[in-house]
Amino acid sequence: MPRKIAPLAELQVSKAKPKAKAYKLADGDGMYLLVTVSGGKLWRYDYRFQDKRKTMALGQYPAVSLADARKRRDDARKLLANGQDPADVKKAQKATEEQQATTFEIVAREWYAKNELVWSQGHAVTTMNRLTHDVFPCFGEKPIAEITAADVRAMLLKVGNRGAVESAARIKIICGQVFRYAIAHGVIEHDPSSTLKPSELFQKREKGHFAAVTNPKELAPLLRAIDEYHGTAVVKAALKLAPMLFVRPGELRNMEWREIDLDAALWSIPATKMKTRQPHLVPLAKQAVAILRELHPLTGTGQYVFPGRTSSRPMSNNSINAAMRYMGYDGDTVTGHGFRATARTILDEVLGFRVEWIEHQLAHAVKDANGRAYNRTSFLDDRRRMMQQWADYLDGLKAGAKVIPLKRTA
């Protein structure tokens, strides 16, 4: 008959001293106090489950008293009697508690802190503003594991219903990035926002119109996202020039070095490449010239400014849109062609430039008072000033400056 173990006394536990080797003081029914070499006193419970010997931690003395340790042991014995492994139950309870304590806001701020240093200041400020103003008030305090697609949908509709559809689309992207960060760190198992599409939540644009961002406040984060694009240098240069030059995507991707005079800051597009079958001149702002000069060492020995996989062909006709999809902007929010509508709207309604200059720069069919088509040099000096001021305006938006609209030019 096995010798019955005398239970420990509180005084015995408190007076236990460390020795050269760790040792145990048994209390009975599998529980004991492990005294470490450093003097730590740890409660442990040895048991068998499915013919395997296991040890369960019950806490550390004196934070967990002798009486508390015995209660934890007795609770574990009850679980064993019901066919449950107490260590597994404890682990599951801990995971549940951690999930309850891990709110969306906690995860979002951790995700933000890890990315803030590699973002531009403007993008970082915009991202946090969107989280604090739109997302956190809706479900920031809710455990991230309990957030549903319905929660995200309600928040996006609230933003979209105030007329900020582009903001809603961008906020959806931010939420998706936070959820995927949580997945990568084992906090949740799926992204509840992944099934939501802004194109299905909000009214679609009229057929035949390219998706475009025409609100300066919505254009600013898009410009910052372009600056932070991590794709190839060729595609990034094309992305940066697309809103600045607002030519048709096919005209941009087929740009050739022989058509460009960097010293004169002018791009001469031959008639064969134009939709109107008329030659076209695109004045290059100093920012555009700087981008092209930086790109020249990479592609300047070839035919195309933006070559594809082989230097004999330009990049794909979907490169710009694919890059924007990569940045999180879907086809119902913005397209490469949409930059033309962006420039057309803001140059006219915000900056106040003459419509004839804008239309001519867009290479639309513009006629004079006698019904004759203007030639490619019409308003060239005026268009030079307009294109420079447009590039400066875009820089101001990216920097987060309050850009004051220009007075309508006479």
Report the distance separating Cα 21 and Cα 258, nearest Å.
Answer: 82
Structure tokens belonging to residue 336: 């490469």
Band the pLDDT of 70: cuts 50, 70, 90.
Answer: very high
pLDDT in tens, 205-258: 444 444 566 677 778 888 888 888 888 899 999 999 988 998 888 888 889 999
Average pLDDT of span 348-356: 83
Is 204 considered catalytic here? no
Q: Is 277 a catalytic residue?
A: no
Q: To the nearest 10°, the Cα dihedral for 134, 140, 141, 142? A: 110
pLDDT-above-70 percentage for the chain = 86
The amino acid occupying position 133 is: H
> How does the average pLDDT of the chain come out, rounded?
83
pLDDT-based confidence at 97, cuts 50/70/90?
low
User: By C-alpha distance, which of 87, 62, 92 is closest to 77?
Assistant: 87
Domains of the chain: 10-92 (3.30.160.390), 104-201 (1.10.150.130), 216-399 (1.10.443.10)
* Cis peptide leading into residue 62 (ω within 30°): yes
Q: Name which of 14, 11, 43, 40 is nearest 26 in CA terms.
A: 43
Q: Please give the residue that has the higher pLDDT: either 215 or 48.
A: 48
The residue annotated as part of the active site, out of 54, 90, 229, 374, is 374
Asked about 337 being catalytic, the answer comes back as yes
Set 236, 337, 344, 360: catalytic member? 337
Amino acid 197: pLDDT: 82
pTM of the model: 0.50
Exposure of 176 in the CB half-sphere (CA atoms within 13 A) = 17
State what percent of residues in the chain have pLDDT above 90: 39
Confidence of residue 342 (pLDDT cuts 50, 70, 90): confident
* Whether residue 170 lies in the annotated active site: no
Catalytic residue among 70, 130, 236, 340: 340
Arithmetic mean of pLDDT, 285-310? 91
Q: Which of 73, 240, 248, 253 is catalytic?
A: 248
Choice among 275, 286, 293, 367 that is catalytic: 275
Residue 19 to residue 165: CA distance in whole angstroms: 69
Query: Given 48, 94, 209, 364, which residue is catalytic?
Result: 364
CA–CA gap between residue 217 and residue 403 (Å, rounded): 10
* Catalytic (active site) residue 374: yes
pLDDT of residue 43: 93
**Helix, strand or coil, per DSSP, at residue 360:** helix
Known active-site residue 142: no
Residue that the structure tokens 């004759």 belong to: 372
